Each structure stands twice: as C-alpha cells, then as structure tokens.
Chain A
Amino acid sequence: MNANQLAFIALGGLAFLGALGVVLIPNPVRAALALVVNFFVLGLLYFVLGSQMMGISQIMVYAGAIMVLFLFVIMMLKLDKKAEEVAPGDAWRKRFTWLIGAVIGGAIFGGVMLPLASITTRVNPPQNFGTPQAVGWSLFTTYVWPFEVISVLLLVGIVGSIMLAKRRF
C-alpha cells in the first residue's frame, strides 16, 4: 500500500459516499449537497488521472453551474419541505425494494468486475495530454465537426427551455 493507492482510496471512498448519499438521503437539498461532494472529488480524480483540463471543467460545470441549477429548482419548487413519506403498510415494501436493488446491483458489479480482475494494462499516454493546449488542439482539428454540432445541440437546448418557461399550459 503506497501513497498513490492511499490517495485513490481516500478520494474514491469520498466519491462513493457522495453517490450513496444521493441515493439514500430523503431530503433533496442534502442529496444535492452530497452530489456536489461527489462531483468535486471526481474533479480531483480527473486531475489524478492527468486530465487537468477535464478536472477544471468538471468542477466549474458540474459542481458549479449544474448544481446551482438543481438547488435553484429545489428551493423554488419548495421540494425540500416535502419528504418522500411512506404509507405505514409500505415500509416493508420499501425495504424489499432496496434489497432487490442491492442484490441486482451486486450481481452486475460482480459480473462485470470479476472478468476484469486480472487485466493489467499500462501503456502510458504522452505527457501533457491533459493540458488545455492539447485539448484545444484536438478539439479544433480532429473533432471540429462534432464540436460544431454540439453547439447546435446547446442552442436547441436553450431555445427549448425558454419555450418551456414562457408558454402557458
């Protein structure tokens, strides 16, 4: 167990706990804060993996912009007051649901990870492959066509959300 592995276990464990919090915490605001923790730690993991540009984007786009949008909607709709109440007879059903989810999830995890357990791949990418220069170069040469198309998608998203907000149903 060396320093790199300890760092991964600390960061990865925190990310896992954040993901667990999103699924298990009833209060939406607290679930959103757990998701912020998860996104932020994922940004740090991207740094660990050498993709600095992606780490910065993750922290700015997800932990910043998207989570502000989520918290804004939660606060505006007053969803935080109303917890997901369970009818008295449904408590066992809820527990059964979680049990089935855990069993299926565990089965999928085992089924995917067991065949992967023995692989060892270590071919290092070029140095600097995660810097903004490298990402920008690739984005405007090899990937310029998807880059332009994604801007059209974002434009459609903007127009669509404005239409949804303006129209009286």
Chain B
Amino acid sequence: MLEVLPIASITRDVPITWFLGLGLAMFILGGIGVVTRRNPVIVFMCIELMLNAVNLTFLTFAAYGGSGINATPGGMAQAMNGQMMVIFVMAVAAAEVAVGLGIIMAIFRQKNDVDLDDMSTLRN
C-alpha cells in the first residue's frame, strides 16, 4: 500500500489562492498564445495549456474541499467529483489533439504550408 501524502499539511500551509493564481496565470498565458501565435501546432499547445490550467483548478478545489466536503462516508463521493472531471477533460483533450493534428496534416498535404494568417479558404 502506497503511503498517503500528508494533504492536510499542504492545505494548512499553502493558501488556496496560490494554486488558483497559478491556474489562472496559465489559463491567461494560454489564451494570449492562442490569439498571438501563427503556428497552428503551437496554438494547439496553448489550448492544452488552458485545459491543464482548468485541471489544476479542479484538483485544487477537490483537495481544499470546495463546497462543504467532510469526512463522512458521503463526503468521499463528493471529494471525487473534481478528479472525475479531470479524467473526462483528459479524455476530451486526447480526442481533440488526435483530430486537430489530423486536420493540420490534411491542410499541410493540400497546401504544403501551415500559417494561420494564410488560411482564409472559408472566407467568402
């Protein structure tokens, strides 16, 4: 059996706002990257960054007991909600990356170049 990490000492010493601030900073950086970068692969990486920022926020609230989690038997089911969301976000991100990179490769095969500023085929 794995030794359980002393989660209680973390939540006592580190304020929840530090974790939330890190998640928010990563989300903002990802958003800036999506808007400013012109390489579609890097745009995808920035989207991954934003998804991971959300995951970090979910796990932070799970660990700090966001909405009245307590140590009763029913509290366990509540404490799992954040982690379940993270699992589903990871699955969606995997599917999204597979399809998105497939689209980028299809565009590259057709035009032999990928630059988001030159992709205007759908414009009227």
Q: Which chain A residues have a beta carbon within 8 Å of chain B's beta carbons?
A: 2-5, 8, 12, 15-16, 19-20, 22-23, 28, 31-32, 35, 38-39, 42, 45-54, 57-58, 61-62, 65-66, 69-70, 73-74, 76-77, 79, 84, 97-98, 101-102, 105, 108-109, 112-113, 116-117, 119-131, 134-135, 138-139, 142-143, 146, 150, 153-154, 156-158, 160-161, 164-165, 167, 169
Q: Which chain B residues have a beta carbon within 8 Å of chain A's beta carbons?
A: 2, 4-5, 7-22, 24-26, 28-33, 35-39, 41-42, 44-46, 48-49, 52, 55-56, 59-60, 62-66, 68-71, 75-77, 79-80, 83-84, 86-88, 90-99, 101-106, 108-110, 114
> Which residues on A sit within 8 Å (CB–CB) of B96?
157
Can you list 12 residue pairs at the A/B interface with Cβ under 8 Å?
Answer: A3-B13, A50-B4, A57-B87, A101-B36, A109-B25, A130-B5, A135-B80, A135-B87, A150-B88, A150-B92, A160-B99, A169-B109
Does more than half of chain A's interface fall in helix, strand or loop, or is it mixed?
helix
> Which residues on B sit within 8 Å (CB–CB) of A158?
98
Q: What total count of A-B pairs have CB within 8 Å?
A: 258
CB contact under 8 A between A77 and B108, given known A35-B45, A154-B95: yes
Contact of B46 among A22, A119, A123 (CB under 8 A): A22
Decide: A139 and B87 in contact? CB cutoff 8 A: yes
Contact of B79 among A4, A19, A119, A126 (CB under 8 A): A126
CB contact under 8 A between A119 and B84, given known A52-B5, A65-B94: no
Contact of B76 among A8, A53, A134 (CB under 8 A): A134
State A74–B41 Cα separation when bound (angstroms): 7
Closest B residue to A163 by CB, please name it. Answer: B102
Decide: A54 and B77 in contact? CB cutoff 8 A: no
Which of B13, B29, B36 lies at the interface centre, i.e. has the most chain A CB atoms within 10 A of its CB? B29
State A2–B114 Cα separation when bound (angstroms): 49
| B108 CB, nearest partner CB in chain A, Å | 5
> Which residues on B sit within 8 Å (CB–CB) of A165?
102, 105-106
State A30–B14 Cα separation when bound (angstroms): 32
Closest A residue to B100 by CB, please name it. Answer: A161
